[in-house]
Copies of this chain bind each other. A is one copy, B any other.
Amino acid sequence: MLDAAPGRGQGSRATMKDVAALARVSLKTVSRVINDEPTVNPELVERVRRAAAQLHYQPNFGASALRRRDGRSSTIGVLLEDLANPFSATIYRAVEEVAIARGVSVLGGSFDEDPQREHTLTASMSRHRVDGVIIAPASRDHQYLRQEQMAGVPFVFVDRPPRLLDADVVLSDSRAGSSLAVAHLIARGHRRIAFLGDLTTIYTAEERYQGYLVALENAGIEVDPTIIARDLRTSDAAQETAGHLLDAATPPTAFFAGQNLLTIGAVRAIRERGRQRNVALVGFDDFDLADLLEPAVTVVAQDPVAIGREAARMLFARIDGDEGPSQKKIVETTFISRGSGEIAAPAERD
């Protein structure tokens, strides 16, 4: 019963021709039945289905795509920053749900902010002749995708807009969300608010920084470059930087962290110093267990499920033939007060 070697080589696989022979019909009739064309005699349909089941026949998508008018491979690409990061993973799952409902498979890939890897993976998608791609690019120039677009492959950008390319995009409102978060801290009396940001090359990192600047400007607070740290890539880097800031002569009374991992780094730095009840913190992007920390962490939450679902909707609309002008969809952020962002600034002394 368990006699097949697990690595057994070239077994045979039934083809339409085999099914046709067993059902004693032509190849074309099998093709019609497999593709649910309605114009087949019910008796033949039955015979073909039985033969297909008996031979465990599975159609070959690659072969059918090769000859088909539309060339559809029933595959899309979903290329994100890092599928092991909850933000990317949630977008991926949301897209997967839409795709599976249409019988479409998903080729996933992670860039890790490496433009070279982006080129490798998009070229790979091209060779697989995917029907469309959802992408959160690592590179800053997307002209190279024009060729694919012109070959009929739609692209939907998520989290970061296309540059030098016309394509659909779904974004969070990073700037408005950040500005609101920083204004929230200012309203609690903070004037020395540190900023922790990811790579300046990342669109959202820049937007969140701009939101921070806008809030300070609206409140008439001068920007202090000594409490602004950008190009932080990891939780550890954020922790170290936040620690240095806290140990300085005139430390910030609050932090605004422009990303998940950076927020967690800030939490660690503040805790290490036992300052978690005195130093305020708001993070951009929600994370698991933020509500179980003490104090719980106030955040600007994004909605990755909505982002993924919307991007999938747009992509399949294009695949279905929509040739209208490119769309831009903004998904609102939600401010969630949990405690860390509601810590007031110490009374001011003059």
A residues with CB within 8 A of B: 1-13, 56, 58-63, 65-66, 70, 73-75, 82-84, 86, 89-90, 92-93, 96, 100, 103, 105-110, 117, 120-121, 123-129, 146-147, 149-152, 154-155, 164-168, 264, 267-268, 271, 287-289, 292-294, 317-318, 321-326
Contacts and interface: CB of A to CB of B under 8 A. Distances in A.
Contact of A75 (B65, B128, B268): B128
B149 A8 contact: yes
B106 A6 contact: no
B75 A127 contact: no
Pairs of residues from A and B, 7 with the lowest C-beta to C-beta distance, nearest first: A62-B62, A11-B150, A84-B93, A7-B323, A7-B318, A2-B166, A6-B326
Contacts of A324: 7
A324 B6 CA distance: 8
A124 B151 contact: no
Contacts of A12: 151
Nearest to A1: B164
B84 A105 contact: no
B126 A58 contact: yes
Contacts of A322: 7
Given A62-B128, A84-B86, A96-B109, 15 more contacts: A4-B149, A7-B321, A8-B150, A58-B123, A61-B128, A74-B127, A74-B128, A83-B96, A84-B90, A100-B120, A105-B125, A106-B108, A107-B108, A264-B292, A287-B288
B83 A73 contact: no
Contact of A155 (B6, B126, B165): B6
B83 A83 contact: yes
B110 A105 contact: no
Contacts of A289: 264, 287-289, 292-293
